Structure 1
Amino acid sequence: TSAALSDAQLDRFRGIAAKSAPDDKSYLTLMARAGTLPHKEWLRINNERKIMARQWAAFFMDWDILICPSAAGPAFAQNQKGERQDRMIDINGTLQPSTDQMFWAGYSNMVDLPSTVMPAGLTPSGLPVGLQAIAAYGEDRTSLALCRLMEDTFVQFTPPPAYS
């Protein structure tokens, strides 16, 4: 978060945000803008987030769990080289920024909902594919219980090739 940025990092982000084109939606630019928001803008966006939280609360009045992908593809090789925004992964033969995988985590993370990832099976090459169970605010045990039940009943975690 921006509170953890050093003064040098904050200055770097201010420079990136100032020089970016208005339509630049790259990961680095979005991080720079988010980390240097004026307080008034943060309040406006936080209000939108609260509205979304109320919408999720209404959804969970009728449903216990939302099951959705945990990522856009199967597990991929760990890569800690270089800057996060420059790391690429292969999705169906096309190189994509690894940060695009964070899209699915945003559903729950943005409004502080619990999410638990469970195995959903393996690709033909043996890589694990996951689903996430998102529950209502404060219902962490609900998502954990569903994932435990799913693993006991359907698919158990299998380490990917070369993981052990």
Structure 2
Amino acid sequence: MKKYSFFDPATGLFHRTAYEGPEAFVCVPEGFEKIEGHFDMHCQRVDLTGAEPVVVDYVPPAPADDQLQTWQWDSATRRWLSFPTLAALKAQRIASVQAEIDAQELQQARPQRDVLTALVAGLQPPPEAVLRLQEIEAAIVPLRARRAALEAATTETELTSAG
């Protein structure tokens, strides 16, 4: 059985489908031509400048960069690979630190209630509730400082050193 790929005769770019089977049953998509062999449409194309069509390596245009990713051609895989931007790395690390802060803050509800209930009643707040609030705040302060350092980072090196 033979393998066939289909290409656009105007651009040399391959169609997404291919065929394997008897040549008599090849159904060429409209506007395309066939070439024997199975080729990778993502990194090969047909060079139409010579007398005969020849399959050559091809680097397609890069996808558009955006706020969170940039693209680099990887010659080993012959594909565009996305890499996170500094903004994406910052957002990821800040989200992780914020999750730690949120977890600490969730523990404040009961001690805050105990302190407020005592104050509203004109009583001294329970020492264990006050101590627990102080412990929670002591855990949150370095996390806030770490988050601020991450937000201030302007390079990946600064981001790494900020934690």
Q: Decide: shared fold, TM above 0.5.
A: no
TM-score range, shorter chain: under 0.3
**TM-score (norm. length: structure 1):** 0.22
Larger fraction in helix: 1
Larger radius of gyration: 2
Which structure is higher in strand share?
2
